[in-house]
A = this chain, B = another copy of it.
Amino acid sequence: MADESNDPLFFRRILITIDEDDRPSTTRAFRFAMTLAKDYGAHLGIASVLESNDISIYESLMPDKLNEKRDHLRQVVRDYAKRAEAFGVEQVRPIVAEGGDVDDVILQKIVPDFQPDLIVCGADVDFASHGKPGAIGLRLGKKADVSVIVIR
């Protein structure tokens, strides 16, 4: 039987979760995810979540307002994807999803779809609107069944 215990181990499908705001740890997390994806030829998924909690009742009655938010987030994620491509990552996928709970959306929609073997999060990305305090990376680290890195 082959003994793999001394073989290299690297990731082939890296998912980075970003929030709309350019927090310092998002930038560092993004740089790390790009570096790893480029150097190991991994697929890079760049994901963000439009949370229902972010949408007020007023806005939900105004489809234009909601579309505007959605378009803005899509643009943010597309911009990250362009930067990753310019950096040299060959397989980049922008992902925008919607739902009530950002953890659930990531774990139940994005992860099963993209099937990452590593999730990268900035330590201060907390989707504050979300109501649960603390970094999302730590919660994903507990709940996900794949490797998670929290970047500071």
Contacts and interface: CB of A to CB of B under 8 A. Distances in A.
Interface in A26-50: 27-28, 30-32, 34-35, 38-39
A137 B147 CA distance: 11
Interface residues of A, number: 34
A9 B4 CA distance: 28
B27 A10 contact: no
A124 to B, nearest CB: 12
Contact of A10 (B5, B32, B86, B145): B32
Contact of A147 (B4, B39, B145, B150): B150
A149 interface: yes
A69 interface: no
